[in-house]
């Protein structure tokens, strides 16, 4: 006898470009939305009962319709609107999860309607709603950062296979992934996201790093100390190595100037820090 122990279904990678046309300038948002539903959908799997299935195409259309009707101020508020809409419309839906990624577009100079994409960085949110609770996590994905000094790595564990040399001055590069649990009501998600991003970058830039682990913790701690609305922060900081090139074979020195960037393999550092 078999039974379903977990099931979900939804629509992924719903892409949306939204233009807010103000009198003085335009605002541009590019989103990718994933919708995942959980509830009393077992009969759709076991009995082919489609009467309980909201088509995933309808989910896609709902993303566009709610963007038109409600506008998009922040991805967190847009995810909330979608979650509440689905819970109100599908009686046997117990939980809905919205995963939204935003491509940052910045205005070109003073132009009111021309934009340039910021690169690989994405703003993210994960909004989970049930009949009795709502949880929102905001975040950053693929933010590439690097510092050329104030980074050391010494005193580490060594064994017979260790070849890494200790250093008190190295390049420290990472592709930052992070998300934080938001609490409280009436948050300005756009301003909070911008302020946390700025604080993470400022802390990374000014901290004298003794390891990536330490730097990650100091960055997370700074956010928790400054933002009472953040209950927990999760950061992932892979160590994207830049290796000093040996130029001695050419009769040249290398005073920490010439490096070879290495994408793979990379170190992996992750931690979740709460109050």
Backbone torsion region of residue 109, taken as left when φ is above 0, otherwise alpha when ψ lies between -120 and 50, otherwise beta: left
CATH code of 225's domain = 3.10.270.10
24-40 pLDDT per residue, tens: 999 999 999 999 999 99
* pLDDT of res. 199: 97
Contact of 223 with 272, CB cutoff 8 Å: no
- Name the pTM for this structure: 0.93
Domain shared by 63 and 84, yes or no: yes
Residues 123, 164, single domain; the answer is no
Q: Which of 56, 148, 183, 203 is catalytic?
A: 56
Does 11 participate in catalysis according to the annotation? Answer: yes
Domain count, the chain: 2
- Concerning whether 47 is annotated as a catalytic residue, the answer is no
Do residue 128 and residue 204 come from a single domain? no
Whether residues 45 and 104 fall in one domain: yes
Q: Which two tokens stand for residue 262?
A: 């290495």
Query: Which two three-digit tokens encode residue 232?
Result: 């927990």
Are residues 241 and 159 both part of a single domain? yes
Rg of the chain over all Cα atoms, to the nearest angstrom: 23
Residue pair 151/172 in contact by the 8 Å Cβ criterion? yes
At 21 the pLDDT is 94
- Of all residues in the chain, what percent carry a pLDDT higher than 90? 94
Helix (H) / strand (E) element for 15: namely strand 9-21
Query: Is 104 in the same domain as 160?
Result: no
DSSP string, 137-194: EEEEEEEEEEESSSB-B-S----TT--PPPBSS--EEEEEEEEEEE-SSS--HHHHHH
CA end-to-end distance (rounded Å), the chain: 45
Write down the pLDDT at residue 96: 98
Q: What pLDDT, on the 0 to 100 scale, is given for residue 184? A: 85
- Do 270 and 155 fall within a single domain? yes
pLDDT averaged over the chain?
96
Candidates 60, 193, 240, 241; catalytic one: 241
Asked if 185 contacts 238 with a C-beta cutoff of 8 angstroms, the reply is no
pLDDT block averages, 10 residues each, the chain of length 275? 95 96 95 98 97 97 96 97 98 98 95 93 98 98 95 96 93 96 93 97 96 98 97 97 92 92 92 96
The range of the structural domain enclosing residue 221 comes to: 143-274
Residue 167 lies in a domain: yes
| Given 11, 101, 193, 240, the catalytic residue | 11
Interval 110-127: pLDDT, tens: 999 999 998 999 999 999
Q: How far is CA 138 from the centre of its chain?
A: 7
Domain shared by 248 and 169, yes or no? yes
């Amino acid at each position: 006898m078999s039974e379903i122990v977990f099931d979900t279904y939804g629509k992924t990678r719903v892409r949306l470009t939204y233009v807010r046309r103000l009198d003085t300038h335009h605002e541009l948002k590019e989103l990718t939305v994933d919708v995942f539903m959980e509830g009393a959908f077992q009969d759709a799997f076991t009995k082919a009962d489609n009467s309980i299935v909201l088509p995933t195409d309808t989910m896609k259309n709902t993303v566009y319709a709610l963007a038109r009707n409600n506008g998009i101020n922040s991805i967190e508020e847009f995810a909330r609107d979608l979650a509440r809409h689905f819970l109100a419309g599908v009686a046997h839906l117990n939980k809905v999860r919205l995963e939204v990624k935003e491509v940052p577009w910045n205005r070109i100079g003073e132009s009111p309607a021309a934009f340039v994409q910021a690169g690989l960085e994405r703003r993210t949110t994960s909004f989970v709603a049930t009949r009795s609770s709502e949880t929102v996590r905001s975040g950053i994905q693929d933010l590439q950062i690097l510092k050329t000094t104030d980074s050391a790595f010494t005193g580490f564990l060594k064994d017979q296979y260790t070849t890494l040399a200790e250093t008190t001055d190295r390049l420290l590069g990472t592709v930052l992934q992070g998300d934080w649990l938001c609490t409280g009501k009436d948050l300005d998600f756009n301003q909070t996201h911008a302020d946390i991003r700025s604080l993470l970058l400022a802390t990374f830039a000014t901290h004298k790093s003794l390891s990536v682990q330490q730097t990650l913790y100091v960055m997370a701690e700074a956010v928790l100390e400054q933002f009472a609305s953040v209950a927990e922060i999760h950061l992932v900081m892979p160590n994207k190595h830049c290796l000093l090139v040996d130029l001695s074979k050419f009769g040249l020195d290398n005073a920490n100037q010439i490096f070879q960037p290495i994408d793979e393999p990379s170190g992996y550092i992750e931690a979740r820090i709460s109050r």
